[in-house]
Structure 1
Amino acid sequence: MDKWTPPLRKRKKVTSATSLDPGLLNSDIAPSENPASAIIDVPAVEVPELTEQEISDRLLLERKVERAFFEAGKALTELRDRRLYRSTHKTFEEYCRDRFGHSRQQSNYLIAAAGVYENLTTIGCQNVANENLTTNGSQILPTSERQVRPMTKLEPQEQQEVWLTAVELAGGKVPSARIVTDVVQRIMERTKVPNTSIRFS
């Protein structure tokens, strides 16, 4: 009669370095008394510097990314103002929802943000080539609609003041939407008109 053997069970995979077959160890690993603390030699990979052409291409592409919301807002403004949606849609809202998958409010945010962005490009940048206005050595500009949204209801001069303060608070870098919102709130509180209405008893 055949001897009964228990069913095979899956063994747990052992990951300890001590359980490895010495023949399977990589030759780049220095021998050590404790294999778990072996030293692995990793050859350094030399990263070639960017060429002047690559640097130029990178800056151009970065500017396109940074200006994307501005370009979108400008395009939506023209689509709306010239009613270029009228052959397929009755309203701009329906057009935006069907064509771009976003609400009229989102479109309005982008349109308003483009206006603020354009205003901010005038801060001491009259001598900078118009097409290349973006985050650069001469000026830090917004890179997203959310950074600009808190400023849309302010006067142009206030927008510029808010942005310059926000950039300063961000350490000379592009400020977050949170920083911009905080600066806007401070300015709004500072410019609140006190209630001077006369009460009659």
Structure 2
Amino acid sequence: MKKRIFAVLFAMMMLAGCGGADEHEDHDHAEGQKQEVAADDAASQFLQSLPAEFPEESAVSEGFFTINDGVVSNQEVWDAFAEFVENGEEAEVVVCQYTTKGGAVLDYVTHHADGTIEVVTDTTRDGYNDEKSILKPVETYTDLKVFENFSLQEGGTAYTVCVLSDNPELTADDFRTHWINMTAEENHIYMLFVI
């Protein structure tokens, strides 16, 4: 039986270099991008059904695993999802994290019994107005890893990061190298969240 769980988080570091614009332009841009998604995509439809303005209180009340400036809500939702993944069971979770602009980034994550992990990413509410602020089509990965005490440089601030990839042998050092060299995307590596 398919289990549905919702959670929220994403990597603010991935958006640190984005430029902003006024709220009216952000809303118009988000609405235009949402129309490009196929109508039969359930995850995309769910993300589109959420309000254009999506404050932290809404994410928490929806039961999402929510991260805002390092503060986490609904940790038990992510923990339950992670347990289903570990047991090879089907499960779904929505991960939402807030950017420095105060906007929500949403990832609808589905783990299948065959071990594949599908993700639909919605950055249309991220508070930025650029080519990255879109509702992306489904991406499929085969591995989920959580690296604790992860830092980009020796002695740097330590974070917990969740990474999706197609490489079960991916280490924290491998991910650090790809991140610094900006080769993560070309190697089909996605940072799902950072705390």
Compute the TM-score of the two structures, normalised by the length of structure 1: 0.25
Say which one has the larger Rg. 1
Q: Which has the higher contact order (CA 8 A, sep 6+)?
A: 2
Compute the TM-score of the two structures, normalised by the length of structure 2: 0.26
